[in-house]
């Protein structure tokens, strides 16, 4: 048994966190552990879901995400913009095809 350096209560020798004051014994406090977690809107699943939902409007999530390197941010941005341009082109071609069908039906 040893004493907690923060509250002086008896704790186990192998303890990582004091059960009385909830402080970590390796020098990090609860506040620093809480700030090391990733906010929910920077999690990979949320970023992918946003990109699939709103496309290039979700690019700020990639650029503000601290875990992603600058090179990946640039590559992802270029890829997303090219994919968006292709999807827009396909949509315009589809609209023209539908318009041609309507014109044929009118006679």
Least confident of 18-27, 29-38, 46-55: 29-38
* Separation between Cα atoms, residue 92 and residue 2, nearest integer Å: 72
Is residue 22, in this structure, part of any structural domain at all? no
pLDDT at position 96, please?
Answer: 97
**What domain range includes position 66?**
56-107
**Is 39 among the domain residues?**
no
Q: Answer whether residue 45 is part of any domain.
A: no
Helix H or strand E segment including 11: strand 10-11
Q: Distance between CA 13 and CA 1 in Å, rounded?
A: 5
Domain-embedded: residue 27: no
Instruction: Give the residue with greater pLDDT, 48 vs 35.
Output: 48
β pairing state of 2-3 and 10-11: antiparallel
In a domain, 90, yes or no: yes
Name the pTM for this structure: 0.56
Q: Structural domain tally of the chain? A: 1
- According to DSSP, the residues that pair with 17 across neighbouring strands are 24
Kindly state whether residue 33 falls inside one of the protein's structural domains.
no
Q: How confident is the model at residue 102 (pLDDT cuts 50, 70, 90)?
A: very high
Assess if residue 103 is contained within a domain.
yes
The predicted model gives 51-73 an average pLDDT of 90
Does some domain include residue 19? Answer: no
């Amino acid at each position: 048994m040893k004493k907690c350096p923060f509250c002086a209560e008896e704790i186990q020798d192998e303890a990582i966190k004091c059960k009385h004051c909830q402080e970590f014994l390796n020098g990090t406090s609860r506040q620093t552990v809480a700030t090391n977690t990733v906010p929910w809107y920077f999690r990979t699943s949320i970023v992918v879901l946003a990109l699939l939902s709103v496309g290039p409007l979700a690019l700020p999530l990639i650029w503000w995400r601290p875990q992603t390197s600058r090179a990946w941010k640039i590559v992802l941005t270029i890829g997303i913009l090219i994919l968006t341009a292709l999807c827009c082109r396909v949509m315009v071609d589809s609209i023209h095809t539908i318009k041609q069908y309507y014109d044929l039906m009118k006679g």
